[in-house]
Structure 1
Amino acid sequence: MSQFERLTIDDIARLAEVSRTTASMVLNGNAERYRISAATVERVLQVARDHHFTPSQSARALRSRRSNTLGLVIPDLTNSAHAALAQALESQCREQYRYQLVIVTSDEDPVRETEGIAHLVSHQVDGVVVVPCTADAPRYEQWVKRLPLVFADRRVETSTIPYVVTDAAETVATLVGEALAKGAREVVYFGGQPELSASRDRLAGYRHALATQGVAEQDDWVFQRDYQRESGYALMKAWFETHGRYPEALFAGSITLLEGVLEFINEAHRLAQAPGHLMTFDDHQLLDCLPLQIDAIVQDSGQLAEHSLRCVFSLLEGKAAPESLRVPAQIHYRQRRAANQ
């Protein structure tokens, strides 16, 4: 037996000494429509306040066919980029649409991701934003007849589901190209799962920069594993042990990979030795506090959230979804700032 008391509308009706129908009308805002007296309304509301009672959201959803909640399936909330996207979505849901956001994490596991989507659907969310962890389109398309589903941050190229992603290729090409233009002739790339669209876009930008600057990619420059901190550490450790030094320049495909890289550099050399030019996709304010000057690509979480929600609500209202969109990113230059000081 649970120690917690779960009040129902029948309990409120009994305590207020009114019928269940009257209590329901009052609590659902229909008292004036059915000409319920002010005294009765106040009595019911006072009982509800005294017992911290709110009407069942599930019951409301059944009546209105809207739950006023959206779901977000995201790989990892410890990733600052994903956390920033979740925060932007939650704020905009609440402030602009009067919706609540329900978040589940996939931990980059397709099975867990599917279970998370199913859980949200079973709780009658009105739509779902997904940061997909696989390129397997049928995993997602099975849901599109049930509710609006939109991809954010990543896309699935073989799917027709609309997406909103960062224009990573162009920004990575700019950042890496500038390092090459300044004289770097060895730029190592650490990336995540190669099947993910984000990984392909970032690697494409890196390779475009090499081609534009006339630099041939070497066999020991590109390594892809996943976006976990442990992978950044392992990749940096392996590269250093193989070459006996750090690369001339290094691009980390995510802030989590960079965390692992910095962990190894700190453990091995207390940050006194490092790649001559460090670059990363995604930014964090703590990078301002490091002795190493790390240039970072900054995603526009607000725009990603805004356009994702616009897609969801267009579909929810029976309209055609807006076209998929690539949101521009910015570069936070720290090395340039340090050179000018």
Structure 2
Amino acid sequence: MTQFERLTIDDIARLAKVSRTTASMVLNGYAERYRISAATVERVLQVAKDHHFTPSQSARALRTRRSNTIGLVIPDLTNSAHAALAQAMEWQCRERYQYQLVLVTSDENPVRETEGIAHLVSHQVDGLIVVPCTGDAKRYEKWMKRLPLVFADRRVEESSIPYVVTDAVETVATLVGESIARGAREVVYLGGQPELSASRDRLAGYRQALRQHGLEERPDWVFERDYQRESGYELMKSWFAEHQRYPQALFAGSITLLEGVLQFMNDAHQLAQAPGQLMTFDDHKLLDCLPFKIDAIIQDSAQLAEHSLRCVFSLLEGDGEPDSRLVPARIRYRRSGG
């Protein structure tokens, strides 16, 4: 038997010595409409306060067909970029829309992602924002009949679901191109799952920079696995083992991959050796504390969150199909003279 006491509205009514209907009207904000006396309202509210009681959201959702919650599915919270997106979305959801954000993680696992979406839908969230971990449109299309659904940070090709993503191609091309312009003739790229739109966009920006500066891609320059820290470590370890040195320039497709690269550099050489130029997609304040400079592309989490929520509420209110959007990114230069 549980040691915790779960109060119901019947308990509040009994303690306040009123009917269940009266207690329900007071707690759900209908006292004035039904002309319930101020003394009764005060007594019911005081009992509820004394017992830390709030009305059931599930019951309210059944009455109003709204739960005042939005679901968010992200790959993981250890990725600082995803954590920043969740933080921005939670704040805006609460402050701008008076909604609560309910979050689940997929661990970049399609099965777990589907289970997470099903869990949120079963709890009657009013809308859903997903950072998809696959490029399989069919996995997501079936939910569109149930509730408003928007992709954030990543899009899914051949899907009609609206998306809000970072405009990565030109920003990556600019950053990598500047590295080449400074003299790099060997630029290694470490990326995530090639089926993800974010991976394709970042790789497209990298290759655009090579073309624009007349640099031919070599077979040992581009490596893609996933966005896990362990993959960054293993890819850097493998490249160093083959070449017995670090590349002239290195672009990490995510902060998590960079973390793995830095871990290898620390384990192997206590950070005393490094690529001639280091670049990453996504930023972290700890990069300011390293003994070498790392230029980073910063996504605008606030704008990603704002436009994603705007899309969801547009669908929820029946304002028509919202337009997908590309959100600009910016570069944080740490190198001297950047």
TM-score by length of 2: 0.99
Equivalent residue letter for 2:188:
V
1:1-341, aligned counterparts within 5 Å? 1-335=1-335, 338-339=336-337
Contact 1:153 1:165 in 2 (8 A): yes
CA-based RMSD of the aligned residues comes to 0.7
CA distance in 2, matches of 1:283, 1:216: 28
AA at the equivalent of 1:202? R
| CA displacement 1:74-113 (0-9 Å, x = unmatched) | 0010100000000000000001000000000000000000
Amino acid at match of 1:320: G
Task: Give the gaps of 5 or more residues in structure 1.
Answer: none
- Give, in angstroms, the shift of residue 322 of structure 1: 2.2
CA contact (8 A) 1:153 1:304 kept: yes
| Identical aligned residues as a percent | 82
Between the aligned partners of 2:183 and 2:202, the Cα distance in structure 1 is 21
- After TM superposition, what 4+ stretches of structure 1 lie above 4 angstroms from structure 2? none
Measured after TM superposition, the shift of residue 256 of structure 1 is 0.3
Give the Cα separation in 1 of the matches to 2:277 and 2:322: 40
Distance in 2 separating the partners of 1:322 and 1:58: 29
After superposition, the C-alpha distances for 1:96-133 in whole angstroms (9 at most, x for unaligned) are 00000000000000000000000000001000100000
Moved more, 37-46 or 159-168: 37-46
Report how far residue 339 of structure 1 moved: 4.5
- Whether contact under 8 Å (1:129, 1:152) holds in the other structure is yes
CA distance in 1, matches of 2:180, 2:232: 22
Distance 1:32 1:202 in 2: 57
| Whole-Å separation in 2 of the counterparts to 1:39 and 1:339 | 70
1:41, CA displacement in angstroms? 0.9
Q: CA deviation at 1:320?
A: 1.5
Q: State TM-score, norm by structure 1.
A: 0.98
CA distance in structure 2 between the partners assigned to 1:112 and 1:321 by the alignment:
28
| Kept in 2: contact 1:304–1:327 (CA 8 A) | yes
Please state how far the C-alpha of 1:319 moved relative to its aligned partner. 1.5
Residue 201 of structure 1 aligns to a residue whose secondary structure is: helix
